[in-house]
């Protein structure tokens, strides 16, 4: 079986919802900025003067941060605009886009369905990605499909989403854990999100055995549940 | 039946001709092995049928027990059941996948917002399945078992089976009576092709996981 660009769903049946982890009101501020996040009203730097656009974060999770917490000083994004729904059979085409059907499910107008345009890339400053302007976070399926299409757009190489899944699972898991840690610490201890994120990252990177860290444990699917249990215990202890 | 055949084999040549010479040894051996082959084939067929019948019976008993355990578990609140699942080490996104709802829905229930009766039942049935699998098949790290790929290089886990509505395959896999390849084929006959890749994940020089082409 030759592999081609994949779609969300199975056996010819679309599952647009599977692209998203959260949309609209579901998006929480505690989640760290991640590949595939969509922000609106972002000042972007391109060839022309600075404009304000809706954008999607393109960079791989490992290329987003310099020290695990702070975002790099410039991040690559792509413009997101209204676009009709691209039917499943056409997901192998439209190679310069990441379709985002049902991105805004609360509206029935043409705004409901959008797409990210890889041929409209921009740079943004991290401080311009305001968390209250984030309107969507992709699911892991969504991130894998985005990476597959973005890499194909740039290199004409198709890598299966299963391979991206294997590579990006640990960092996606890490984002999940930081989100949970931040939510708990902000709610219970009144920390700022950034303070809680630093605390969570420190805990994940703590040397627990001859240089071995919980962050490294997340690379092994058999050990992830252990890290989650340890994290819940650590949060209870912190009170 | 094999007993009759055995009787024939024990008394070769006594029935009719009165000829005292035994049949040539090679002929006797040929007859014996022919009968033996038939007998073994017959036994295999019976074993196959028995295997199928007991497999179905085992599946039924799994379902009956699972239902009873679900009713028992369903007496707790959705919030308490989710807490228990989280304490087992399940990720919220996996719980969402297993129950068939969004992550924000799970997070709302976790904060105490009500779930529909159907969804509450789904959460209870998951806990019940964890109890059943752990108790019968001695799986200590139940969450780890659920999220570990069933076969090296194939990213299909019991979570994927469960999420696609195949608890029967999850129980079968846990029981160890069926090879993982057979279970994967029952789940998706195309799995070998679907998950074949020319690329592999490796640790790059900067310490992060990366992708490269496999060696041919």
DSSP assignment of A49-70 equals: S-EEEEEEE-S-GGGTBSSSSS
Out of A142, A159, A176, a domain closes at A159
Look at residue A48 in the predicted model and tell me its pLDDT.
Answer: 75
Query: pLDDT class for B29, splitting at 50, 70, 90?
Result: confident
Q: Are A123 and A19 within one domain?
A: yes
Contact A231, A185 (CB under 8 A): no
Residue from A19, A166, A211, A235 whose CB has the most chain B CBs within 10 Å, to mutate: A166
Tens digit of each residue's pLDDT (9 = 90 or more) over B158-213: 999 999 999 999 999 999 999 999 999 999 999 999 899 999 999 999 888 999 99
Residues A64-76 have a mean pLDDT of 89
Taking the alpha carbons of B191, B196, B199, B203 in that order, is the dihedral positive or negative?
positive
Instruction: Compute the residue count for chain B.
Output: 216
Note down the domain range covering A109. Answer: 9-159
Task: Answer whether residue A2 is part of any domain.
Answer: no
B147 interface with A at CB cutoff 8 Å: yes
Q: Tokens 């840690």 belong to which residue? A: A181
| Higher-scoring residue by pLDDT: A2, A9 | A9
A3 interface with B at CB cutoff 8 Å: yes
B95 vs A contacts (CB less than 8 Å):
none
Task: Answer whether residue A53 is part of any domain.
Answer: yes
Residue from B100, B101, B104, B105 whose CB has the most chain A CBs within 10 Å, to mutate: B104
Q: How many CB pairs under 8 A join A and B?
A: 85
Look at residue B6 in the predicted model and tell me its pLDDT.
Answer: 45
Phi, psi at residue A144, to the nearest 5°? -60, -40
Q: Are A84 and A171 within one domain?
A: no
Task: Answer whether residue A4 is part of any domain.
Answer: no
Q: Are A151 and A196 within one domain?
A: no
Phi, psi at residue A126, to the nearest 5°? -55, -35
Residue among A183, A179, A237, A184 nearest A204 (CA): A179
Task: Please tell me the total count of domains within chain A.
Answer: 2
B17 pLDDT higher than 60:
no
B81 pLDDT higher than 70:
yes
Residue among A3, A62, A165 minimizing CB distance to B155? A165
Q: Are A26 and A136 within one domain?
A: yes
Residues A41-66 have a mean pLDDT of 90
Predicted ipTM of the assembly? 0.91
A163 vs B contacts (CB less than 8 Å):
197, 199-201, 211
* Beta partners for residue B193, in sequence order: none
Of A49-53, A134-138, B58-62, highest mean pLDDT: A134-138
Task: Answer whether residue A151 is part of any domain.
Answer: yes
Task: Answer whether residue A3 is part of any domain.
Answer: no
B210 vs A contacts (CB less than 8 Å):
167
Residues 11-70 of A with CB under 8 A from B: 17, 20-22, 26, 62
Distance, CA of A27 to chain centre: 12
Residue among A169, A233, A166, A170 nearest A203 (CA): A233
Q: Are A195 and A180 within one domain?
A: yes
Q: What is the dihedral of CA A127, A176, A236, B101, to 10 degrees?
A: 120
Look at residue B4 in the predicted model and tell me its pLDDT.
Answer: 47
CA nearest A62 in B: which residue? Answer: B208
B196 vs A contacts (CB less than 8 Å):
1
Point out the least confidently predicted range of A49-63, A141-155, B19-33, B166-180.
B19-33
Look at residue B19 in the predicted model and tell me its pLDDT.
Answer: 55
B151 three-class SS: strand
Please answer yes or no on whether B201 and A223 come within 8 Å at the CB atom.
no
Q: Tokens 């627990």 belong to which residue? A: A208
Where in chain A does DSSP place strands (E)?
A: 9-10, 13-14, 20-23, 38-44, 51-57, 75-82, 97-100, 114-124, 134-138, 207-209, 212-213
Contact A5, A26 (CB under 8 A): no
Tens digit of each residue's pLDDT (9 = 90 or more) over A71-87: 999 999 999 999 999 99
Phi, psi at residue A136, to the nearest 5°? -160, 145
Point out the least confidently predicted range of A20-29, A60-69, B49-58, B192-201.
A60-69
Residues A3-32 have a mean pLDDT of 94
A35 pLDDT higher than 90:
yes
Report the CATH number that the domain containing residue A93 is assigned in CATH: 2.30.30.110
Look at residue B21 in the predicted model and tell me its pLDDT.
Answer: 64
A208 interface with B at CB cutoff 8 Å: no
Look at residue B14 in the predicted model and tell me its pLDDT.
Answer: 47
B89 torsion bin: left (phi>0), alpha (psi -120 to 50), beta (else): left
Phi, psi at residue B210, to the nearest 5°? -140, 180
A163 interface with B at CB cutoff 8 Å: yes
Question: For residue A119, what are its two tokens?
Answer: 């041929």
A89 three-class SS: helix
Task: Answer whether residue A225 is part of any domain.
Answer: yes
Q: Are A82 and A183 within one domain?
A: no
Look at residue A79 in the predicted model and tell me its pLDDT.
Answer: 97
Look at residue B128 in the predicted model and tell me its pLDDT.
Answer: 97
Contacts of A128 (CB under 8 A, 6+ apart): A42, A43
Please answer yes or no on whether B90 and A162 come within 8 Å at the CB atom.
no
Q: Are A37 and A138 within one domain?
A: yes
Q: Are A33 and A119 within one domain?
A: yes
Tens digit of each residue's pLDDT (9 = 90 or more) over A162-217: 999 999 999 999 999 999 999 999 999 999 999 999 999 999 999 998 889 999 99
**Min Cα separation B184/chain A (Å):** 16
Q: Are A227 and A144 within one domain?
A: no
Look at residue A49 in the predicted model and tell me its pLDDT.
Answer: 79
Out of A135, A159, A183, a domain closes at A159
CA nearest A61 in B: which residue? Answer: B208
Task: Answer whether residue A223 is part of any domain.
Answer: yes
Phi, psi at residue A74, to the nearest 5°? -135, 135
A135 pLDDT higher than 60:
yes
Q: Are A141 and A217 within one domain?
A: no
B1 pLDDT higher than 80:
no
Q: Are A82 and A186 within one domain?
A: no
Q: How far apart are CA B21 and CA B14, in angstroms?
A: 11
A173 interface with B at CB cutoff 8 Å: yes
Out of A131, A159, A187, a domain closes at A159
Query: pLDDT class for B156, splitting at 50, 70, 90?
Result: very high
Task: Answer whether residue A1 is part of any domain.
Answer: no
Q: Are A29 and A123 within one domain?
A: yes
Contact A38, A100 (CB under 8 A): yes
Look at residue B18 in the predicted model and tell me its pLDDT.
Answer: 54
């Amino acid at each position: 079986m030759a592999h081609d660009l994949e779609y969300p769903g199975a056996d010819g049946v679309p599952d647009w919802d599977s692209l998203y982890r959260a949309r609209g009101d579901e998006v929480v501020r505690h989640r760290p900025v991640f590949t595939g996040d969509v922000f609106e009203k972002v000042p972007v730097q391109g060839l022309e003067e600075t404009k304000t656009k809706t954008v999607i974060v393109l960079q791989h999770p490992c290329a987003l941060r310099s020290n695990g917490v702070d975002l790099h000083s410039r991040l690559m994004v792509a413009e997101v605009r209204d676009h009709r729904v691209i039917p499943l059979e056409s997901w192998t085409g439209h190679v310069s886009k990441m379709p985002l059907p049902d991105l805004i499910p609360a509206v029935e107008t043409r705004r409901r369905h959008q797409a990210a345009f890889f041929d409209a890339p921009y740079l943004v400053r991290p401080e311009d990605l305001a968390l209250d302007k984030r309107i969507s976070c992709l699911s892991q399926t969504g991130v894998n499909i985005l990476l597959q299409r973005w890499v194909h757009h740039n290199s004409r190489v198709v890598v299966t989403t299963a391979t991206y899944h294997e590579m990006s699972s640990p960092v996606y898991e890490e984002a999940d854990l930081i989100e949970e840690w931040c939510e708990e610490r902000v709610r219970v201890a009144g920390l700022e999100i950034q303070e809680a994120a630093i605390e969570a990252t420190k805990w994940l990177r703590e040397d627990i055995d001859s240089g071995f860290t919980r962050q490294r444990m997340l690379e092994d699917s058999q050990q992830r549940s252990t890290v989650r249990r340890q994290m819940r215990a650590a949060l209870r202890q912190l009170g | 039946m094999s007993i009759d055949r055995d009787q024939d084999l024990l008394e070769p040549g006594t029935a009719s001709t009165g000829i005292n010479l035994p049949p040539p040894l090679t002929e006797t051996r040929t007859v014996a092995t022919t009968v033996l082959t038939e007998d073994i084939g017959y036994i295999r067929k019976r074993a196959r049928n028995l295997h199928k019948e007991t497999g179905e019976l085992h599946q039924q008993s799994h379902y009956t027990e699972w239902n009873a355990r679900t009713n028992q578990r369903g007496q707790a609140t959705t919030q308490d059941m989710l807490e228990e699942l989280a304490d087992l080490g399940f990720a919220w996104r996996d719980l969402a996948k297993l129950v068939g709802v969004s992550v924000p829905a799970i997070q709302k229930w976790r904060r105490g917002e009500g779930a529909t009766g159907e969804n509450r039942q789904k959460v209870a049935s998951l806990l019940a399945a964890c109890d059943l699998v752990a108790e019968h098949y001695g799986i200590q790290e139940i969450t780890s078992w659920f999220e570990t790929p069933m076969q090296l290089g194939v990213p299909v886990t019991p979570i994927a089976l469960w999420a696609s509505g195949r608890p029967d395959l999850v129980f079968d896999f846990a029981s160890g009576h069926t090879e993982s390849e057979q279970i994967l084929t029952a789940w998706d006959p195309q799995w070998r092709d679907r998950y074949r890749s020319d690329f592999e994940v490796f640790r790059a020089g900067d310490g992060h996981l990366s992708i490269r082409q496999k060696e041919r």
